[in-house]
Structure 1
Amino acid sequence: MSRRETQVVPLREATAAWFRISLQTFGGPAGQIAVMQRELVDERRWLGERRFLHALSYCMLLPGPEAQQLAVYTGWLLNGWLGGLVAGVLFVLPGVVALLALSWLYVAQGDSVVVTGLFLGLAPAVVAVVLQAVLRIGGRSLRHPALVALAVAAFLCLAVLDVPFPAVVLGAGLVGWLVGRRVPGLAKPKELAPDDGPPPLVPDDALHTAPPSWRRNALVLVVGVVLWAAPVVVAWLLAGGRSSVYTDQGLFFGGMALVTFGGAYAVLSYVAQAAVETYGWLGAGEMARGLALAESTPGPLIMVVQFVAFLGAHRDPGGLDPWLAAVLASLLTVWVTFVPSFLFIYLGAPYVERLRGSAPLSAALAGVTAAVVGVIANLALFFAVHTLFADTRHVGWDHLGLELPVWSSWSWPAVVVAGVAAVLVLRLGWSVLRTLGVCALLGLALHLLTT
């Protein structure tokens, strides 16, 4: 075994560290990245600050959950491909188990007084949480009038013109690249912060590397694509070559994993529209409840797709026992959603230095990030309309236009909970998990009072 393939830290010790990290991954990607930085950089000192931010800057360019990809990347640096596999799997495992149990509870006991009351508090609180994401990302990324215009255009494309989400993302990247050629400040790459504190225990030149080559790339690509597609192909063959809820979910969420630029909030608008309106796997209100569950469990927020798949397969099991169908679809969706993250890291990590500091790439990313603000604003509108009001109406032409609420159908308990959540997260700065806990109890109390 060559020096480049040796374990930088003992794999057993690294596995214990990743398990510890996985139990603390609440609060979205910002909180998850902070946990990894504290554990790996500040406390264990396995990585320097520069190297950690170097890895983060690359993961921010990729589609998919950047925090989970950062776990795979840093695990790869410390222990090679096996370390990346351990880190990436452990990062999502607690959330998979927790959300599977909560999905079962929702389907089995969703009409009980207690569960109904808890969701009465959780779903409206999500409106405030998504609004907070709009303000945070917008305040940080819309630093030029062109980017503000791009955010507004992205919102209108999704909310009014029904433009497909991937087209919005790709178009935003193209516009950002074009504008960046005339506005140099738009494409200014983010500077890495200088190292603070003591140096890392592991020097940079001891971390794992892999010389890029076409042979290596072909091997990684073939193995990764085969593993990624295999469960969907098996589901298709078992269905006799016909479409089923399993192949539909595998193809949809597998394709989604390739276009989820900008984080989970950005893609959830696309997922919600397709899952509710195109496939009918669940209702709009249930989508908000699923997001509330994903917010309250560890792991990436995109894990909400597991809840979507669980409900869709339970209601259309295709000849299987509904509970078995729900579990299989849930695990299949997790598989096709997260396997590409490993593939992106294993393929791209050897080339990451070539990507850093590229002005055109930075400009394209600035355009995508600006569009993400508009995409998340559309998601906030979607959840607000379907959570705070019982009825909606379409304003526009045919399938184009806005879906607006019937104002007389407003739900005062939901509005009260949403208002409380907005105060807690926007004014008092409470964490998402703490806010959701308070709003769940408030929803239960209001439900008991009104019934």
Structure 2
Amino acid sequence: MNPKLKEVAQVFFKLGCFAFGGPAAHIAMMEDEIIEKRKWMTRDYFLDLIGTTNLIPGPNSTEMTMHCGYERAGKPGLFVAGISFIFPATIITALLAFLYVKYGQLPKVEPFIYGIKPAVLAIIASAILKLGKKAIKSFELVVLGLLVLSASLLGVNEIIALLAAGILGMLYFYLKSKSNSSLNSVSPFLFFFGISTITAKVSTFKLFMIFLKVGAILYGSGYVLFAYLDAELVTRGLLTRAELIDAIAIGQFTPGPVLSTSTFIGYQLSGFTGALAATTGIFLPSFLFVLILNPFIPRMRNSKILRYFLDSVNVAAVAVMVAVLIAMTRETLVEWQSITIALIAVFLTFKTKISTIWIIVMGAIIGFLLMILTT
């Protein structure tokens, strides 16, 4: 096996086993593994990847693994990175689906998740500081970032905020530059799926098509995924809402992308082949989007006006991460136990060189012990 491909597989499989906390936490862990430790690319280019990934459908952190794999080992690296990151979550989720179908309940993992949540706050904060230093290149970008942060905290959709920031910044800096140089252009592309609604009895192919459709148009968090799957499955009588809620919960507390929910649902509806079909369907569009988009990113940097757009989107992406951190902090730090774990994680993150993965493990163990001792 190609040494670079082997390295890509090892890095993203390891991340896939420990990537708790949602996309912001996943990207923070990638920044530590890929930029700090291995220096596969510059932090500036990593920021470009984050900014552009936020503008396309699909799970952002999973698509970031694909971009990073592409940069390290070409097109094969894209597929190896994505599959390696997804694989642990799908295996764990499939096992949980089997237990759920057989015994009708989920295992008790809340004590471990309790400690992981405050631990990832420190990891996200560290990544924000590092990426923010690169993203903030002028006073105007600071103002733009604050506007996006305010909009995000007020509930404005993150895609709208990112696009608006990119366009506003691009126009402002272009007019400010008063450049007479010719501008390179990159032809935009649109990717539409016209998959008809399926109401008949579920088969493997139909499951694949349902989840392919969802994967091709999905933006946003697990709550958005819930809305899509509710419309596609619950309203058509393929799944009960209680079963869907359990499936979303599985995706939330297993490592890796929340879209591993698809594995759980696929198994419920059609066994092992259904799990495979649903998982393949929901992730396939992301592989295609990244495969098409990645070669355009360096060209965008070579275009003056698109460079302004990227700089503005990058600072907006960091602002969105700050908004996510604020929201997570409000939800998580509500008891002395979670505050204690967060403070320990802050010390380890900023004052030591301990890997983010070990900080996650530490949070899980301390969370488990504190919940056992205080209940």
Q: Normalising by the residue count of structure 2, what TM-score does the alignment of the two structures yield?
A: 0.69
TM-fit CA distance, 1:166: 2.2
Of 305, 325, 330, which aligns to 1:385?
330
Of 208, 215, 218, which aligns to 1:253?
215
Query: Match of 2:253, as an amino acid?
Result: R
Of 329, 338, 342, which aligns to 2:278?
329
Corresponding residue of 1:150: 144
**C-alpha separation in 2, matches of 1:361 and 1:339:** 22
**C-alpha separation in 1, matches of 2:153 and 2:227:** 14
Of 225, 233, 253, which aligns to 1:289?
253
Report 1:167-182 matches (<5 A).
167-182=160-175
User: What SS does the aligned partner of 1:24 have?
Assistant: helix
Query: Match of 1:430, as an amino acid?
Result: I
* Structure 1 stretches lacking a partner, 5+ long: 1-12, 39-48, 77-83, 186-216, 260-269, 295-303, 389-409
User: What SS does the aligned partner of 1:135 have?
Assistant: helix
**C-alpha separation in 2, matches of 1:24 and 1:419:** 27
- The Cα offsets for residues 389-422 of structure 1, whole Å up to 9 and x where unpaired, read as xxxxxxxxxxxxxxxxxxxxx3332232222222
Corresponding residue of 1:121: 115
Of 159, 164, 173, which aligns to 2:153?
159
Q: Between Structure 1 and Structure 2, whose CA radius of gyration is higher?
A: 1
* 8 A contact 2:49–2:64 mirrored in 1: yes
Q: CA RMSD in A?
A: 4.2
Report 1:80-159 matches (<5 A).
84=75, 86-104=76-94, 108=99, 112=107, 115-159=109-153
Give yes or no for the alignment of 1:274 onto 2:198: no
Decide whether aligned partners of structure 1 residues 181 and 415 sit closer, same or farther in structure 2, where only a CA change above 3 A counts: same
Report 1:30-429 matches (<5 A).
31-32=33-34, 62-63=52-53, 65-72=63-70, 75-76=73-74, 84=75, 86-104=76-94, 108=99, 112=107, 115-160=109-154, 162-184=155-177, 233=195, 236=198, 249-256=211-218, 270-275=220-225, 282=245, 289-290=253-254, 293-294=255-256, 304-310=257-263, 317=268, 319-321=269-271, 325-345=274-294, 348=296, 352=298, 354-388=299-333, 410-429=334-353
* Structure 2 stretches lacking a partner, 5+ long: 16-28, 54-59, 179-186, 231-243
Identity fraction in percent: 14
Decide whether aligned partners of structure 1 residues 29 and 164 sit closer, same or farther in structure 2, where only a CA change above 3 A counts: same
**C-alpha separation in 2, matches of 1:164 and 1:247:** 27
- The Cα offsets for residues 236-287 of structure 1, whole Å up to 9 and x where unpaired, read as 48668xxx9876654443234xx7xxxxxxxxxx324423577675599877
Query: Match of 1:91, as an amino acid?
Result: A
**C-alpha separation in 2, matches of 1:138 and 1:54:** 10
- The Cα offsets for residues 2-59 of structure 1, whole Å up to 9 and x where unpaired, read as xxxxxxxxxxx53x53023310234314523567756xxxxxxxxxx9xx99997985
**C-alpha separation in 1, matches of 2:123 and 2:367:** 16
Please, which moves more after superposition, 244-253 or 414-423? 244-253
**C-alpha separation in 1, matches of 2:279 and 2:225:** 14
Q: Normalising by the residue count of structure 1, what TM-score does the alignment of the two structures yield?
A: 0.58
**C-alpha separation in 2, matches of 1:286 and 1:146:** 42
**C-alpha separation in 2, matches of 1:320 and 1:422:** 44
